[in-house]
């Protein structure tokens, strides 16, 4: 019977051979997530044996990770804004840079007890909407996604986090079924140019849903649709916060300005210094 430490070393070596970045960290994350362990468990109880059943299961997961499948896809879970989300094949894996949108929204509405009406377009796992509802206990939010599978998962995540009474999730194409009246609209739309998708890292290219990635020939199709919809969705003085791809700030700002929604200053940058969240305000 093998031990936790032996599996950790074996997986780290396999990941290094496949060229994964930080292979030991990846191996530790796999063991933690799959066995429900902490880092302390791995350090102080590394010699504890692992059952043959768990060893076989872990080796199968390690093979999939070495082949490029993201850990979040293997475990079916991902943390975002300190909240735990279940993933579906139809949802993106929530990423840390998207938390920049939450930070931007919190700065726009510092009163955490404001009874905001929030809309999340392209809600996916519901991560953005849930994060905002966790910060604004008097808010009500609606999530919309074109994918039935994503909408179903978002609804389940919101319910699991205790937000079922303060949220609704709809299946639809952007805002076609909505009448407006929102104080805040957020969106992490598909923004990768179609021709760039084959060159993406394999964990994104091969495992994230193309519907949530492909932004058309220039990566701007979703922003064009959003720019047309936002004026009718926002109340006067309301804000839209949209995630940006690298180098898209100028083009998206121009689309929003043409729709009567001037950008509220420069886009907010993520921790890597990339312009990530553009804010626009309805006069």
143 is in an annotated binding site: no
* pLDDT tens readout for residues 133-158: 999 999 999 999 999 999 999 999 99
pLDDT greater at residue 27 or residue 1: 27
227: buried, middle or exposed (CB in 10 Å: 19+, 13-18, 0-12)? Answer: buried
Q: Is residue 161 over pLDDT 80?
A: yes
Q: Can you read off the two tokens belonging to residue 224?
A: 């064009």
- DSSP one-letter string for 176-205: TT----EEEEEE----B-GGGGGGS-HHHH
For residue 123, say whether it is annotated as part of any ligand binding site: yes
Return the CATH number of the domain spanning residue range 77-281.
3.40.50.150
pLDDT in tens, 60-91: 999 999 888 888 888 888 999 999 999 999 99
Share of the chain above pLDDT 90, in %: 69
3-state secondary structure at position 120? strand
pTM given for the model: 0.88
Residue 74 to residue 34: CA distance in whole angstroms: 9
Supply the pLDDT for residue 281.
97
Alpha carbon 262 to its chain's center: 26
What is the DSSP annotation of 52-100? HHHHHHHHHHHHHHHTT--HHHHHTEEEETTEEEE--TTSPPP-GGGHH
- Joined tokens for residue 143: 């999530």
Q: What is the mean pLDDT of the chain?
A: 93
What proportion of the chain, given as a percentage, has pLDDT over 70?
Answer: 100
pLDDT at residue 177, rounded to an integer: 80
pLDDT tens digits for range 94-117: 999 999 999 999 999 999 999 999
Structure tokens at 3: 């031990």
- Residue 224: pLDDT band with limits 50, 70, 90: very high
| Residue 110 marked as a ligand binder | no
The answer to whether the annotation marks 41 as part of a ligand binding site is: no
In which band, very low, low, confident or very high, does the pLDDT at 205 lie, cut at 50, 70 and 90? confident
How confident is the model at residue 219, as a pLDDT?
A: 93
Confirm whether residue 115 is marked as ligand binding.
no
Instruction: Check the annotation: does 223 bind a ligand.
Output: no
**Residue 246 CA: distances (Å) to CA of 62, 84, 196, 251, 253:** 32, 27, 12, 11, 13
- The number of C-alpha atoms within 13 Å of 85 and in the hemisphere containing its C-beta is 31
Residue 265's pLDDT band (cuts 50, 70, 90):
very high
Nearest to 154 by CA among 178, 179, 120: 120
Residue 45 has pLDDT above 90, yes or no: no
Residue 81 annotated in ligand binding: no
> Is 157 known as a binding-site position?
no
- Whether the CB-CB separation of 116 and 109 falls below 8 Å is answered with yes
In angstroms, the CA 85 to CA 93 distance is 9
The residues near 138 (Cβ < 8 Å, ≥ 6 apart) are: 113, 114, 115, 116
């Amino acid at each position: 019977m093998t031990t936790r430490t032996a599996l950790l070393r074996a997986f780290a070596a396999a990941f290094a051979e496949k060229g994964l970045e930080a292979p030991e960290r990846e191996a530790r994350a796999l063991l933690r997530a799959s066995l429900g362990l902490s880092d302390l468990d791995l350090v102080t109880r590394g010699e504890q044996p692992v059952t043959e059943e768990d060893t076989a299961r872990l080796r199968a997961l390690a093979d999939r990770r070495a082949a490029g499948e993201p850990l979040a896809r293997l475990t079916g879970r991902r943390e975002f804004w300190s909240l735990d989300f279940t993933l579906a094949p139809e949802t993106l894996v929530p990423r840390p840079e998207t938390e920049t949108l939450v930070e931007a929204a919190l700065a726009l509405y510092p009163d955490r007890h404001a009874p905001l009406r929030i809309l999340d377009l392209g809600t996916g796992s519901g991560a953005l909407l849930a994060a905002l509802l966790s910060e604004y206990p008097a808010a009500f939010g609606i999530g919309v996604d074109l994918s039935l599978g994503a909408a179903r998962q978002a609804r389940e995540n919101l319910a699991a986090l205790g937000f079922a009474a303060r949220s609704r999730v709809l299946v639809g194409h952007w805002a076609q079924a909505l009448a407006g009246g929102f104080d805040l609209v957020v969106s992490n739309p598909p923004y990768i140019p179609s021709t760039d998708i084959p060159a993406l890292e394999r964990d994104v290219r091969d495992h994230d849903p193309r519907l949530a990635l492909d932004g058309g020939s220039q990566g701007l199709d979703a922003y064009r649709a959003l720019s047309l919809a936002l004026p009718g969705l926002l109340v006067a003085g309301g804000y839209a916060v949209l995630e940006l791809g690298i180098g898209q700030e100028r083009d998206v700002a121009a689309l929003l300005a043409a729709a009567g929604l001037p950008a509220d200053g420069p886009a907010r940058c993520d921790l890597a210094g990339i312009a990530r969240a553009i804010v626009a305000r309805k006069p």
